[in-house]
A and B are shown apart, each in its own frame.
Chain A
């Protein structure tokens, strides 16, 4: 193999032991419009056994930087600079050479484990595929190695599980298998691109534990790409903060969290919603004080669920899937109820049932006095004017062919007979209320950023002054700094307009900031319902306790303590 061999020792501050050494990396993408410079002069080094976290918001170039380590860039990318992987410049390697490097020297863990595994092969086949590609001929040896690694990443009963297919594993287990695929070849560095973003918070804690063990037991270097400051605090030794293709700050994790230097880092840290602590009065405390003013005025509840069941039908002769099993709660006028749970807990289903998008099948669900079990669309339609809905993904919840103003005007066009002039002035007022400039109304949805779109979505939901707003994970698709802004607008409008809201989220800290009361769902059943402060500070149910303890906080010192608490809880 021919490659530029850098003189050992010229890597900065490492004494030549760096596994990955990125020097003045510049990556440019050709697009339909002007070329986009995704990475602009990045220098990074990773030493063996070190976890380097690359943090930044979407579009900051962190994923592209990570993928460049494995030479996994699309055809449209132009790379300048050097990426030295174990002394070899990846950017100059041919396809064959790259294939030898991948797996042996560097491996990748992807965000979505379900799509990283091939559904038609057993996991054993997929684990040994890498070994076969790298010259292990004996089937027996490869299989033995696969079983060994599966055991190491904590898959129970690896001897028999090795012959199972991906769909027979849970999301967390699939991510373990993807990590095992990286370990089976003894990669020197693992690039983990948002390895826990698609996972629930309790599973996330387990995967982070596993990565930590991989680092200490195998002395593998890990490049952790994430936007979650809590994950960074939990795992990273060193942190590089990226912003618009540049590394704006690089420091050891503790130093960075304790004393951030760059203004962007400070803003990023400040934007992370904090869980309330017993000692501090952040979040819930503040909200409690203001929540006193618009006290629920004792009117009839807007939403009243009694033993609500939602069953999705399944194939003939099989029992249906119970998405919601016996939920009871109320939403009073002007009240914000937070609905928390992991994926599959039925929280979104409840929101959709209230909006009439999913049919409630059992029990009783009264929305604005209308029974939703067995409802007829025609009879419910007039009431829809009094309900607003904010969807999770702002990118897809707008018709891409209509302007923002048209989208916001849609409810007015459907439910009122306002003149075009009235509609225009109402849209202008709404844009103003969510702090978007007037001229944004003439733009198309794809011309707005995610946060701006979500604010426009809020404007559309509020167009008819609804009494009830259902917000289904409205900020989970957004970056932290953007999320903070959207939540701010939400809080402000809720206080001013006094609508009731059902705020659905998997993020306890976010719900804690907004909601007066919180309901915790677990597998379709509500396990805890109470005032925000009491649920977050003094959880009664063991699941709530585990959920709370699993949330990583953006502070390495505190996170270490919490980790021990969680371990104690698990025993």
Chain B
């Protein structure tokens, strides 16, 4: 039945060439294409992500205090003050303002995600292309290394690398880069794998052979013919990895390998400090950073999942051809 379910008659025009120019940008194109539940997921995910991006960008403006501020004109902050006047979400055991730490934390989380994903993307794609296209012993060695990295528990690997880079604790950017690079190492094999598999598939495609027959140099084949066709599934992995990166960063911070509270706000660290509060009924120090982590991960994952469904013509929900209601794909729920 796989054939049947994806068989719109041939020569049907592909939608990405119709409509206004903005609708050809990857995520926006899917947004325009989507219908029903999938659209709801995508919109919710994008809204959550946008919220955190705004929080990160406007942190200096919206946050009432700095992330490491312990006192203002009225004097030193009370410790573990409940939510109320002056401190909307209360203060932590160290005397920091919870609301401010949550807002500033978005900055740390997003910069780590961006650095981690970009670094892993470039290295992974490059290695995957070369390894898949050239094959031979280089391919075998790289695949073995990638498999070996898979075999490590990712958090353990991240801890080891974070200790190697920064000795455990450090300044804001030192900490961010240490966390990002340790996540990078974990993610490179994923990009490597996906791009390598695509490259191996594309290598046998007639249009790559056509380029070989013409006598196109290998570098040109890779950049012009293989790379652009191999990156189609990357937006999905990027979004899914981004949520994993947030969790890894929070995990590192929670375990005490993150960033000092005086150099930057970091949700995982705040959660760690909130453990002892839980028993004494102080809920606000743990709930707010925790909710921030959950919501950001949820937002990114929703975007990733709905992009994944929309990219697959068999999972994509379409408007019914006659009448307005959309068709839910029956098998979809079972497949998930």
Contact = CB atoms under 8 A, between A and B. Distances in A.
Interface of A: 28-33, 35-36, 38, 58-59, 61, 64, 67, 72-76, 78, 355-357, 381-382, 384-385, 387, 389, 391-393, 396-402, 410-411, 414-415, 444, 446-447, 449, 460
Interface in B138-153: none
Interface of B: 4-15, 17-18, 33, 205-207, 209-217, 220, 224-225, 228-229, 313, 316, 318-322, 327, 329-330
Contacts of A396: 205-207
Contact of B8 (A29, A382, A398, A449): A29
Contacts of A356: 212-213
Contacts of A446: 14
Contacts of A76: 5, 8, 318, 321, 327
B4 A33 contact: no
A79 to B, nearest CB: 10
B318 A399 contact: no
Given A72-B4, A357-B212, A384-B215, A78 B207 contact: no
Nearest to B206: A397
Contacts of B216: 410, 414
B318 A381 contact: no
Contacts of A410: 211, 214, 216
A78 B316 CA distance: 17
A59 B10 CA distance: 6
A33 B15 contact: yes
Contacts of B6: 74
Given A30-B319, A76-B318, A396-B205, A389 B213 contact: yes
Given A78-B321, A396-B206, A401-B228, A449 B11 contact: yes
B313 to A, nearest CB: 8
B227 to A, nearest CB: 10
A385 B214 CA distance: 6
Contacts of B212: 356-357
A357 B12 contact: no
B9 A36 contact: yes
Nearest to B330: A75
B17 A35 contact: no
Contacts of A449: 11
Contacts of B330: 75
A30 B8 CA distance: 8
A78 B220 contact: no
A255 B228 CA distance: 54
A43 B49 CA distance: 54
A414 B8 CA distance: 37
A75 B9 contact: no
Contact of A393 (B7, B15, B206, B327): B206
Contacts of B33: 32
Contacts of B320: 30, 78
B209 to A, nearest CB: 6
A32 B14 contact: yes
B214 A411 contact: yes
Contacts of B229: 399-401
A74 B4 contact: yes
Contact of A36 (B8, B17, B207, B329): B8
B223 to A, nearest CB: 12
B211 A32 contact: no
Contacts of B217: 414
Given A397-B210, A401-B229, A410-B216, A38 B321 contact: no
